[in-house]
Amino acid sequence: MKRNQRGVTLISLVVTIVVMLIIAGAAISTLGGENGIITQSQNSRVMATQADVVEKMQLAAQAVSQKVMMKTTSDFSYKPKDHIADYIADIQADLSDINVIPASVTNPGTQIQDGYNVFIKDDSIYMVYKDNTFALAVPTSATGYPVSTTTATTTFPIDKQYAMLVGQIVFQTNSVSYIDPISTAK
């Protein structure tokens, strides 16, 4: 007598487990990896943070540039290079929670904190944003920041623990110019 058996055979159990493993593998590869959802969301956060920081630095530099233009237009003997410290307050108005590093500090890098930092060095105001969400591509030629600032022996605030975006307002005799932070977004 042949009976109809109801239940799970070993073959159907193995096939079910294999199918579940394939589905799990596809889900894991979608989440992780170089083009995974998690990586893409982290890259989006980095790019959004960077765009916000760069925009705030540009606004601060424009405020300084406009103030310099107004002063040099009304007073031809005015030399903005001689009044660099007067522009820190204008930068503070555009950047939130700013750490102003005193000019008496010989190595500004020792005072850099998370968030916005501002200091004066060599006829320039440096606006530094330090955060652990992105990495600064260290310049290797004179097309970006001065090459001397990329070595560990200088007093420029290169920090190996966190990455930074560095915007620079350069004061000439009668004008100012602005060097954007080096883009790190992919």
Instruction: Give the domain ranges of the chain.
Output: 46-179
* Contact residues for 100 (Cβ-Cβ < 8 A; gap 6+): 88, 92, 117, 118, 119
Q: How confident is the model at residue 15 (pLDDT cuts 50, 70, 90)?
A: very high
Q: How confident is the model at residue 22 (pLDDT cuts 50, 70, 90)?
A: very high
What pTM was estimated for this model as a whole?
A: 0.68
Structure tokens at 60: 């601060």
Q: What number of residues does the chain have?
A: 186
Residue 162: CA count within 13 A, CB half-sphere: 16
